[in-house]
Amino acid sequence: MEAGTTNPIKVLFLCVANSARSQMAEGLLRHLGEGRFEAYSAGIEPSGIHPLAIEVMREIGIDISDQSSKPVSQFLGRLHFGYIITLCRWDEERCPTSFPDVSHRLHWELPDPAAAPEEQRLRSFREVRDRLKELVEELVAQEIRK
């Protein structure tokens, strides 16, 4: 944030179903953002939060069970976002362009952990969570340095 600025930076994480990656990213930024951010998530085809996303976030002390899966249309033209971050190529290609004055658009390509074979699914959720944590920490550190 700029010196003297007290308004938190709004960040919208976009994912197809808003069920795993974007929900975990929202929870991580809320937890790690040091009050500098307002985290939101949405999906192009929202379908509810995956239970394994809730489980693996609890493993690191973050409760996302109160978050909800939301359509991206809920945010179009309603908020100014400092960042819109897409989490898979399909979303990046279909990301609405009608968000006014978005300061930064980022793309973090991550596999859909829910698409992993059942015997590997929990491990996949943990791997995606851990990578998201690294990316969120980098975003927070970058903004603190500004």
Tokens describing residue 113:
């952990």
Among candidate residues 9, 12, 14, 15, the one labeled active-site is: 15
CA 39 to chain centre: 7
CA 12 to chain centre: 6
* Catalytic annotation present for 101: no
* Catalytic annotation present for 95: yes
* Catalytic annotation present for 97: no
The b-or-e profile of 42-80 (16+ CB within 10 A means b, else e) is bbbebeebbebbbebbeeeebebeebebbebeebeeeee
Among candidate residues 29, 87, 95, 139, the one labeled active-site is: 95
Among candidate residues 11, 14, 24, 88, the one labeled active-site is: 88
Please name which of 100, 97, 74 lies closest in space to residue 18, comparing C-alpha atoms.
74
What is the helix (H) or strand (E) element at residue 22, kind and residue range?
helix 21-32
Active-site residue set: 15, 88, 95
